[in-house]
Amino acid sequence: MPVNILDLAVAANTVYNFQKGRGNDAAAFNKAEGARRSPPGFQVIFTHEDIDVGFFGAVYQEKHSDQYIIAYRGTAVGSSTSGQMAGTKNLKTDIALYTIESLPAGIRAAHLLLEQAKMLLGAARPILCGHSLGGAIATIVAVETALPCCAFNAPTVSKMVRGGIIHGPYVRVPTEDLASIEKQIINFNLQWDPISKSSKAVGKVIKLPATLATGGHSQDKVVANIKSSKYASMPFFSLVG
C-alpha cells in the first residue's frame, strides 16, 4: 500500500508518544505514555535519540510495502523517559530557528537515522515528515538529500536554503537542483497557526481551512482536519512531481 497523507500526519504526531511531553499539547502530557506509537497498520522499525541535542526520530513501515516513513519529533516539553532535558534542548533550538533561522542542532542525528534506515530497508523508498521543529528538520534533510518530505505546521527554513540578508544559505544545494527538489516537498499548514505562516516556505504549501477553535499549531488538530479532508486517503506521491 502506498503511504498516504493521513499516514504521514499520524506519524508526525505519534513520534511524540515515545516520551511524556507531546509538543505544545499540555492536555495530553499525562496520557502520552500509553498512547499509540505508530500509524494504524504500520510497525515501528526502529528509533534513534540524541539526548545531547534533544533529538528523537522513528522509522515506520507497513508490511510488504516498498515505502516507509521517517518521522522527526518536534518540540518536546517536560522530562522524557530517556532524555530528561529534551524540552530545554528543543526550546533553545526553537528560539534560534524562529529568530535567525539557525540550523537546528539535530540535523546530524536526523541524517544518521536516515542512513540507518537506508541500510536496513534497502531499496524501499523513504518519505520524511515532521510537525513544527520536526517538520523543519525533515525539510532540511530532504533538501540536502533530494528526498520527498511532508511537513506539518513547520517554521520556514527558506533563508537556510536560499540565503538571506544576514547570512548565506546553511544548506548547500546547487541552485539549478533546488526547483526539482522543492517539487517533492509539501507543507500542510493549518489555519490560525502562527508558526508556519512566518515567511516563504520551501516546497509546495497546502493551507488547511479551520475555525479559530479547530485551527492552530497542535498536530492533533492537523490530524483531525486531514481526517475529514480530501487528502486523508490521497497517496503522497500523487501530490508531488
pLDDT of residue 39: 92
**pLDDT band for position 18 (cuts 50, 70, 90):** confident
Q: Is the pLDDT confidence value at 150 over 90?
A: yes
Q: Which residue has the higher pLDDT, 85 or 78?
A: 78
Domain count of the fold of the chain: 1
Q: Is residue 217 part of a domain?
A: yes
Q: Is residue 100 part of a domain?
A: yes
Q: Is residue 103 part of a domain?
A: yes
Q: Which residue has the higher pLDDT, 193 or 166?
A: 193
Strands 185-190 and 204-208 come out as parallel
Q: Is the pLDDT confidence value at 12 over 60?
A: yes
Q: Domain containing 38: what range?
A: 5-235
Q: Which residue has the higher pLDDT, 151 or 16?
A: 151
Q: Is the pLDDT confidence value at 21 over 70?
A: no
**The three grid cell numbers given for residue 179, joined into one nine-digit string:** 526547483
Work out the mean pLDDT of the chain and round it to a whole number: 82
For residues 19 and 56, the answer to whether their CB atoms sit within 8 Å is yes
Instruction: Return the SS3 of 223.
Output: helix
Q: Is residue 97 part of a domain?
A: yes
Q: Is residue 240 part of a domain?
A: no
* Rounded alpha-carbon distances, angstroms, from residue 5 to 9, 131, 149: 6, 13, 11
pLDDT of residue 168: 53
For residues 127 and 68, the answer to whether their CB atoms sit within 8 Å is yes
pLDDT of residue 103: 65
Q: Is residue 91 part of a domain?
A: yes
CA–CA separation, 224 and 131 (whole Å): 14
**pLDDT band for position 19 (cuts 50, 70, 90):** low
Q: Is residue 73 part of a domain?
A: yes
* Rounded alpha-carbon distances, angstroms, from residue 78 to 27, 86, 110, 131: 13, 7, 22, 18
Find the CATH number of the domain harbouring 141. 3.40.50
Q: Is residue 241 part of a domain?
A: no
Mind listing the pLDDT tens digit for each residue in 164-188?
A: 544 555 676 766 788 899 999 999 9
Strands 55-62 and 42-50 come out as antiparallel
pLDDT of residue 156: 85
